[in-house]
């Protein structure tokens, strides 16, 4: 981005807005680093489910009929397609917000507990929200493709009478790793939607953004480490 454009942005955004936006970005990155890349990832709900995904593929090695497995992968693909479509609709909604800037700014002026917002600041906020949903769409789209690859790899696992156990096991684990990678991208897309909801707090003000971001972080941490779903996997 040109230096002049950066200076123009910083000239209209207040210091409290920058602090809140910085908190939002850092919170997202730190949470993602801890859950996906640190030593804590193995004890998270997603990490425990990765183990179950490998167990699923090892069970697949022992049976010749794969209709159950392909049906499961199809369901996973449909989930990715659904949320990918929802992200496209959200992007369209963001573009509609840009085209309705005058009407929205009038609503801002009529709400007593919100500060007046300039058109430039409003457009920056909408652009940021649009970027989040574009990121989510790419994640869901790639997850859909990877689940498709996983179904192909499942089809490549040979029947018991046609190969040795080690050959089938290697092919099944290959499919499992593809499935795990797909699930990570799907989870990243879902996470983007949650943080997109937190980002909406910025439209009410910088401190609202900090509160909504903290709330979303608390919800995501609970689901990954303290939820009933995780306890089921530990039993």
Write the DSSP symbol of residue 65: -
More confident: 107 or 125: 125
Q: Are 39 and 221 in contact (CB under 8 A)?
A: no
Residue 216 lies in a domain: yes
Averaged over 64-73, what is the pLDDT?
86
* CA–CA distance, 233 with 40 (Å, rounded to integer): 16
Residue 4 lies in a domain: no
pLDDT category at 77 given cuts 50, 70, 90 is: very high
pLDDT category at 9 given cuts 50, 70, 90 is: low
Least confident of 94-98, 117-121, 219-223, 226-230: 117-121
Output the CA angle 231-233-234, nearest 5 degrees.
Answer: 65
Output the CA angle 56-174-157, nearest 5 degrees.
Answer: 75
Residue 8 lies in a domain: no
More confident: 199 or 107: 199
* CA–CA distance, 100 with 129 (Å, rounded to integer): 15
Q: Which residues contact 93 (CB under 8 A, 6 or more apart)?
A: none
Please give the pLDDT value at position 204: 86
pLDDT tens-digit series, residues 122-170: 889 999 999 999 999 999 999 999 999 999 999 888 877 777 888 888 9
Residue 85 has pLDDT above 60, yes or no: yes
Residue 37 lies in a domain: yes
Residue 115 lies in a domain: yes
Please give the pLDDT value at position 64: 75
Spatial CA neighbour of 126 closest among 87, 161, 94, 101? 94
Residue 195 has pLDDT above 70, yes or no: yes
Averaged over 163-189, what is the pLDDT?
92
Please give the pLDDT value at position 112: 66
Domain span at 118: 13-234
Residue 3 lies in a domain: no
pLDDT category at 116 given cuts 50, 70, 90 is: low
Count how many domains the chain has: 1
Write the DSSP symbol of residue 41: G
Please give the pLDDT value at position 6: 54
Please give the pLDDT value at position 110: 67
Residue 1 lies in a domain: no
| DSSP for 159-200, written as a single string | PTTTS-HHHHHHHHHHHHHHHHHHHHHHHHHHHHHHHHHHHG
More confident: 75 or 98: 75
Residue 6 lies in a domain: no
Q: Are 67 and 74 in contact (CB under 8 A)?
A: no
Residues of the chain with pLDDT > 90, as a percent, come to 65
């Amino acid at each position: 981005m040109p230096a002049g454009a950066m200076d123009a942005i910083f000239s209209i955004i207040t210091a409290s807005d920058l602090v809140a936006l910085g908190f939002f970005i850092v919170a997202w990155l730190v949470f993602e680093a801890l859950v996906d890349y640190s030593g804590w990832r193995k004890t998270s709900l997603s990490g425990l489910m990765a183990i179950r995904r490998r167990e699923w593929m090892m069970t697949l090695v022992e049976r010749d009929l794969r209709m159950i497995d392909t049906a499961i992968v199809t369901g996973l693909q449909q989930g990715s397609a659904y949320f990918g479509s929802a992200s496209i609709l959200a992007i369209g909604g963001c573009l509609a917000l840009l085209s309705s800037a005058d009407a929205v700014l009038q609503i801002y002026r009529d709400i007593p507990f919100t500060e007046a917002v300039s058109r430039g600041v409003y457009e920056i906020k909408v652009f940021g929200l649009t970027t989040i949903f574009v990121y989510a769409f790419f994640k869901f789209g790639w997850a859909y493709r990877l689940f498709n690859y996983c179904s192909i790899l499942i089809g490549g696992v040979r029947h018991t009478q046609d190969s040795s156990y080690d050959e089938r096991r290697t092919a099944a684990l290959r499919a499992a790793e593809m499935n795990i990678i797909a699930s990570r991208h799907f989870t990243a897309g879902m996470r983007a939607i949650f943080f997109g909801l937190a980002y909406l707090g910025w439209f009410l003000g910088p401190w609202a953004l900090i509160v909504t971001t903290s709330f979303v972080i608390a919800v995501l941490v609970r689901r990954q480490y303290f939820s009933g779903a995780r306890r089921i996997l530990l039993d």
